[in-house]
Amino acid sequence: MSLPDLSQWWPGFAGFAWSWAWLLMPLPWLARRLLPPRPSQSDALKVPYGRTLQAMASTGLSLGRGGTATLLWLLWFLLCAALARPQQYGPPVAPPLSGRDLMLAVDLSGSMSEADMELGGSVVDRLTAAKAVLADFLDRREGDRVGLLVFGQRAYALTPLTRDLESVQEQLRDSVAGLAGRETALGDAIGLAVKRLRAQPDGQRVLILLTDGVNTAGLLDPIKAAELAQAERVRVHTIAFGSDGGLRSIFGMAMPLPPGADSIDEPTLRRIAEQTGGRFFRARDAGELAGIYAALDRIEPVARPGQSVRPRLERYPWPLAAALGLAALMGLWPGRRR
């Protein structure tokens, strides 16, 4: 059923969601033509002065039979228009015009449970401090697609690349040290990230790897994994996270650690970053880690053309309100004909 183009006099008119509702317009006429006439009934009570009462009732303003029929058809037209759900285009909404595809690789080896970080005046373990900083980092990634993988003795992808950053944060909150094993498989983590990123556009493949140890497990050597990342043009930023003469909680008290107490393979992490075009960072406490993620937040984004969309706004309340107002007016009209 073809309908007239209303966009000429209604700016932004988007059409009717249920155009089939206009097929109901001739329904009252069909009902009157096809249904049998109502049988006439004699009056149950005859009043001698009935004509006088009728004359008194007709002293008010009367529409006449033709006027009443016109209003009834107008009422039915408004109801059909409301049922058809007219819609109008709203203001354009533009998505973010830039974004990156980031994979976050977080170390869940047993050493991440070491309580040598200070957060909010309390001594916490490394993983808790990393979660707090990463949560703030993810809050600022609007327009990016972020994936999360964790690694210990093996590497596991918890979330694919997605713009649903709340799901990424939820998976991160539920992660615990030792979940993926007590050892550290750096090479396998890089290899899994490269596998997840290789299908993404060139220039948007970024891996941010956080670890507090050395490669002690896995099938893939970290340097070989870096060569694979370089071949696939995946830029790897490495973060060595752990105390260097920092703090450790002993019987609830913060005690200093001697320098070199932790074993972090900084040369390997630095080489991985340099080989893939990334940067190496060293974080000895939660404050330094927050500064590192703030620096990573300023990575030059890759332009991604955004396509503006115009949402459809429902306008059925307009004809529905007009129909209710007309019905109320006809009900209150003095001297109306039934």
Q: Does residue 280 contact residue 269 with C-beta atoms inside 8 Å? A: yes
pLDDT (average), residues 212-241: 90
Residue keyed to tokens 């984004």: 301
Q: Is residue 158 part of a domain?
A: yes
Q: Model confidence over 125-155: pLDDT tens digits?
A: 888 888 888 888 888 787 778 899 999 988 9
Same domain, 241 and 259: yes
First to last CA, the chain: 34
- Domain span including residue 130: 98-303
CB neighbours of residue 71 within 10 Å: 17
- Residue 11 structure tokens: 């700016």
Q: Does residue 262 contact residue 136 with C-beta atoms inside 8 Å? A: no
Strand partners, 250: 253
Q: What are the percentages of helix, strand and coil residues in the chain, rounded to 5?
A: 40, 20, 40
Q: Is residue 112 part of a domain?
A: yes
Same domain, 299 and 314: no
Strand partners, 89: 312
Q: Which of 168-172, 221-225, 288-292 has the lowest mean pLDDT?
A: 288-292
pLDDT (average), residues 284-310: 74
* pLDDT given for residue 54 in this prediction: 52
User: Domain containing 229 — which CATH number?
Assistant: 3.40.50.410
Residue 229 has pLDDT above 90, yes or no: yes
Domain count, the chain: 2
Same domain, 202 and 276: yes
Annotate 274-289 with DSSP letters as a single string: HHHT--EEEESSHHHH
Q: Is residue 42 part of a domain?
A: no
pLDDT (average), residues 95-99: 60
Same domain, 125 and 214: yes
Same domain, 73 and 149: no
The reported pTM is: 0.58
CB neighbours of residue 103 within 10 Å: 28
